[in-house]
Structure 1
Amino acid sequence: MSTEAPDFSFLVIKQAAIVETFADALARLNSPIALNLDGACSLDRQVAQNVFLSTELERLQAGELDRQRVKELDRLRVGVLDQILRLIPSVDDSDLQNTNTRTRLQQLYSSAFNEGRKQIRQLILQVQDLQLGLKDMEETRRTILDIMGREQGKQLQLQEDIMAYVWTHLGGHQVEQETYRTNLALLKSINQQSKLTGGGLQWIYLKLIDYEAELKEMWESMVDAGIVTAEDGGGWGAGGYGETAGGPSSSTPGSANGAAGAGVHKKYGFSLQGEIDEIKRVTIKLKAKWAQTYGKTHAQAG
């Protein structure tokens, strides 16, 4: 049976690896804290630190199983060390040195962890203070906007009151009433003028119809008396002057009025120069016929 003590150095190596892992985690936790202590306290960096802090807290929360595993390893390590102490009759200097190293590492880890937890707590308090400050700023902004809205409403109401006062005391209603009366009188005048103009045109139209009918009757009387012939009429002969284009000729007095009215209606609104020229031409012929007839009668009497 071998009397050599078993080699448990692998346990020391495993413990050192565990301590190194916790040291790395502590370094990650201390990096934003160091930046904060160096003076990098801007809002963006604070937000980044908050994100980092939340991530690390989630990592620590998710690592609860790892902590339980570490506790089991510590318990196993203590049991193994007790077995080592029982198996080895005497402890040499190297064992004492390893024990002292382990104790110092545990103290260093404990102090570093406590310090990091304290820094994290301070950082959480700073974040809470910042959130309270932002909340106060938001309430102040809302209060300012509320005050500005009320002041704007007061200004608009004051303007409306001023305009109402000016309108009431400076005769605004009287001006409106006078304007209404003026416009009403103008409309009545325009309506009256329109009626007068329409009535005058209607009267002229009827007079022209009567005048043309009289001319036609006079012309027919002259034709019957032999003073002029029907061919000399031009306008009141065949295809009579008072008839519409393509319409039938009428020789009765009633139809003469209708034909004359149609002729005037055809030229009404444009010009009466044709009628005037026709009357002049007929008058000249009448004078010539009258002179000729009067000359023959006077010669026979002589």
Structure 2
Amino acid sequence: MDKTVKNLYDGLNLTTLPKSIKDYFFSLGYQVDKDNRMKPYMGRHNYSETDFYILEKDYYSFLNFIERGLIFDKDDNEVTKENLYLFLKEYGKGFYKGYSEFEATIKPNSVLFELDTKEKIHKIFSRIYSFKFGGNNKGHLPMSIHTNKTEYQKNCLPEHFYYITNETMFKAGFNGGEYYKSWEIILHNPTIFDKLFKRKILKKETLEAKENKPITETPELSLKNIPTFNLQQRFYIFQKLKLDSSIHKIETEKQSSKHKILALILGISPDNAKHLINNTYKDLTQEQKTEVDEYLLLQKVKL
């Protein structure tokens, strides 16, 4: 049986969408230039007579890992472009199930938008918009870090590589189908959701304003036999040991994730970490650098 999924853009004029919704939707797509992004969903996939869609950015990021030979199945066979379709078929099955069953989970026995459907509207909205880490799942193609390396993998591959299974692909597809269906409902009924998007955007802007307050110095360390170096001096040690390069090499779609990792390591705020990474924190004096260099020399640290 042909399992057709409606193209998200059929009968839709994207230019007439409320700015709050359009901006958030296009933030999911590739950045073309300073002011423009591509549509998040582009090409239709079809395996075993089942239609499905994957966020373009996620799909090509996944292909990049495959081209680098970093993805394997549970039996340690490399996943290639030639055999990827075996897993995408499972993703498609999950996608169609999530897509076709989503409405039933929010409107069991009623018309979708009645006067008393405020709760249902919030459920649809919360499916695509969340400030919590892991609060929603867009149907990202799943990759789990592989820990049981063969001798070949130990010798020929980077420290981390990944594996996928039919089960995780099906689950990711299910999430992707629900996410896609949520956007279909929102984009074709934008006036109902406009206020919710505006409210969330205002909340986000308020949070960002708080994060952009002037930098305050982290209290100096006061541990026995440990110098009371300030934040810049501690980060200078970090750089001398070339640890900052590891932060820059972290593979993530969110630059803020690097800030949070550094903040966690140094015990500082993400905002301070951002300034350190971007070299926008106030400069060290030569005297402060000398203090650090002399301490490292005293500790017989070889650089």
Do they superpose with TM above 0.5?
no
TM-score by length of 2: 0.18
Q: Specify which structure has the higher proportion of helix.
A: 1
Bigger radius of gyration among the two: 1
Using the size of structure 1 for normalisation, the TM-score is: 0.18
Considering Cα pairs closer than 8 Å and 6+ residues apart, tell me whether 1 or 2 has the greater RCO.
Answer: 2
Q: Which structure is higher in strand share?
A: 2
